[in-house]
Structure 1
């Protein structure tokens, strides 16, 4: 039976915190900037709700755990958070980590609203326990493949690290680009140095190189090597995984960080909610918020709406994804069952392709919006 959200007049009001687990990469080898922005968004939304009186007088409290991009740490954190009494799980940026968290949450009957991970196969089987705000990898990366083909690229190389996420991305790109008359040349970074990678690019006459690898390494060394190789002066470097979105990318590469198109999940214009959140996030972060910060904010906004309307019982939360309809920072959020996707999915968050301006790498240029 669902626990009543509001107490009767004969009972003392429950003012205890509503605990929400938050998974985010805050240390290496995780993408720390992504984790920091994700947590800022989660916390801002929770703070705003608490300042407005909470949920029927009960404050939201985030119980944060650092995953450090480690699936085993995430699995242990899910077990710990469930035992602590969190009513739902949120967050995570890294797809392989989110997949581990989703498996653990489903096994424990703990609702998980995944903020940012995009891997299509977030769970092995369809589940009611998991929902996702970020678009599936196949959605965003097909848009990126169309962008490459539209720009005239037909011989496209991919510098690939080993992981389920990078392998899935490579497969999506190869299938879509091949159908468009192009070729994807996979270059495995375990067996190549940045210098030997440059030789492969020149030998294969590639016109574009995609960075399907992590930061700071090997991406930093790859970009520097390619930018300094005269044979590759005309090659386009791309980053469908969104590495250039984060301030670390500029700190790492300075002017070499410019003109590397990447995927981000923002609309042409933020909603009124998003405009207000952007100002607060900028103040908290001391820099422009990334799309990941907005994903964090929207995560808590969705859960708060469910808490208000359906209560804080875990089963009730998991049964509520299909009933959500709220204005988020980037548009109207609703969840549905999408063919090929095993979780409740917002279909779809807006997608942009952007890069950093050559003369001012700290400024973004939007190249395409879908």
Structure 2
């Protein structure tokens, strides 16, 4: 009778040893995983400048997602810690304090000059870099602090709009409605606009001021601005308030020519203003007609990711985030982000080079725009 060979019984001590080795290796791998680079984000997503904040947050998020897909910063993943400033200085300062306490390696935002003026000293005292997105106030320029930005603070859109109204349209007088809630931006912009308008042979007539709150009477503001029957009114306010003012102005003066700074040139302006903002003169910080591969690819990626077209806030915030990430990627051992930015100086944005001066300021172009058929278009 043929003998039967019994299968060998597993050697329990050997299996246990193997499991222990594998478990130890997994634990070592987990322990060795690099910690994330934490970056703070402070933008308004609930207040009157939420259209800027939401688009800006999208631009920041896209830049970080792309960087993480490419391996992060020196092998470390990037994590964004979001805070909503609500266009409220006190709330913004609290948000900054929370991020400083984490601490974050650097912070992105805010989107408005009012909030930037509050946060720049706070982050400077903490020694943490703050990369601004769209704050344009000249009051923030020329400071040896921790605040950097990629847009020009010289208000080139004020010059372009003034030249269009004075030289191209031949107007001699223009009325203004100015929002004072963000006065660190709006007052300098009006001063630059008035100077350029005078150089074109025209002048600012009536100036109607308001500070936005829940009781703001936009119809009354419109009546005051139309008291002497102007041919044009310039609205220096946020996208939402500009849309509301334009609606009231056009109801009372359908043929009125309207203009607004690049600050208001966001999707909310068209969505909320509708036909009332048709023909409005404004500007954006990017060239709509750019057919370069880099710009077309960015536009497609952004629209595919967020199902909405790009605007100044989205592109500027993407650029600002990309610049900060590039500096973090290239910094030397022990080098502070500010030192890395000033050492490198020149960075490639989506459409142009971004060059910082000794104070973290830079120059940029603004492109004239007009609202036509529910879209921002280049003027004819």
TM-score, with normalisation over the residues of structure 2? 0.82
Aligned to 2:377: 365
Match of 1:19 among 33, 38, 47: 38
Aligned to 1:180: 200
1:205 is displaced (CA, Å) by: 4.4
Number of aligned positions between the proteins: 341
1:66 is displaced (CA, Å) by: 0.7
Q: Is the 8 A contact 1:142 1:173 kept in 2?
A: yes
Aligned to 2:274: 254
Cα separation, partners in 2 of 1:221 and 1:48, compared to 1, 3 Å: closer
TM-score, with normalisation over the residues of structure 1? 0.84
Provide the rounded CA distance (Å) in 2 between the counterparts of 1:27 and 1:196: 25
Aligned to 1:209: 233
Q: Is the 8 A contact 2:244 2:272 kept in 1?
A: no
1:254 is displaced (CA, Å) by: 1.7
Aligned to 2:109: 91
Larger gyration radius, structure 1 or structure 2: 2
Calculate the aligned-residue CA RMSD, in Å.
2.5
1:77 is displaced (CA, Å) by: 1.6
Q: Choose between structure 1 and 2 for higher RCO, CA contacts under 8 A separated by at least 6 residues.
A: 1
Pair 1:61-2:79 in alignment: yes
Pair 1:346-2:362 in alignment: yes
Cα separation, partners in 2 of 1:254 and 1:187, compared to 1, 3 Å: same
Provide the rounded CA distance (Å) in 2 between the counterparts of 1:148 and 1:55: 47
Aligned to 1:129: 146
Cα separation, partners in 2 of 1:58 and 1:156, compared to 1, 3 Å: same
Provide the rounded CA distance (Å) in 2 between the counterparts of 1:44 and 1:312: 27
Aligned to 1:147: 164
Q: Is the 8 A contact 2:167 2:200 kept in 1?
A: no
Map Cα deviations across residues 261-286 of structure 1 (whole Å, 9 max, x no partner). 11210034165333222111112221
Aligned to 1:340: none
1:15 is displaced (CA, Å) by: 1.1
Q: Bigger shift: 56-65 or 147-156?
A: 147-156
1:19 is displaced (CA, Å) by: 0.7
Map Cα deviations across residues 267-321 of structure 1 (whole Å, 9 max, x no partner). 34165333222111112221111121111211221112111211585x6211122
Structure 1 runs, 4 residues or longer, greater than 4 Å off: 190-203
1:233 is displaced (CA, Å) by: 4.3
Provide the rounded CA distance (Å) in 2 between the counterparts of 1:167 and 1:103: 21
